[in-house]
Amino acid sequence: MKMTDLAAADLRILSELQKDGSLSNVALAERIGMSPSPCLRRVKQLEGAGFICRYAALLDGPRLGLGLTAYVEVKVPQVTGDDIVARFKQAVMREPAITGCFVTAGQFDFLLRVVVADIDAYSTLAQNVLLKLPGVQDIRTSFVLEAVKDTTELPIARAQAAR
For residues 41 and 95, state if they share a domain. Answer: no
Instruction: Report which of 150, 5, 149, 99 is spatially closest to residue 14, judged by C-alpha positions.
Output: 5
pLDDT confidence tier of residue 126, bands split at 50, 70 and 90? very high
For residues 45 and 89, state if they share a domain. Answer: no
What is the CATH number for 43?
1.10.10.10
For residues 67 and 134, state if they share a domain. Answer: yes
Instruction: Report which of 59, 58, 63, 67 is spatially closest to residue 121, judged by C-alpha positions.
Output: 67
Say which range, 2-16, 84-98, 149-163, has the weakest mean pLDDT. Answer: 149-163
Whether residue 40 is contained in a domain is answered as: yes
Mean pLDDT of 72-88: 85
**Domain count within the chain:** 2
For residues 28 and 47, state if they share a domain. Answer: yes
Whether residue 133 is contained in a domain is answered as: yes
For residues 77 and 133, state if they share a domain. Answer: yes
Whether residue 151 is contained in a domain is answered as: no
* H helix runs in the chain, sequence order: 8-19, 25-32, 36-48, 84-94, 119-128, 156-162
For residues 130 and 77, state if they share a domain. Answer: yes
Digit-coded pLDDT (tens) for 28-73: 999 999 999 999 999 999 999 999 999 999 999 999 999 999 999 9
Q: What's CA 65's distance to the chain center, in Å?
A: 20
Instruction: Report which of 15, 30, 36 is spatially closest to residue 154, judged by C-alpha positions.
Output: 15
Whether residue 149 is contained in a domain is answered as: no
Whether residue 82 is contained in a domain is answered as: yes
In terms of residue numbers, what domain contains 73? 62-143
Task: Calculate ∠ Cα 70-75-78, nearest 5°.
Answer: 145
Rounded to whole angstroms, how far apart are CA atoms 23 and 29? 9
For residues 49 and 70, state if they share a domain. Answer: no
Gyration radius of the chain's alpha carbons? 20
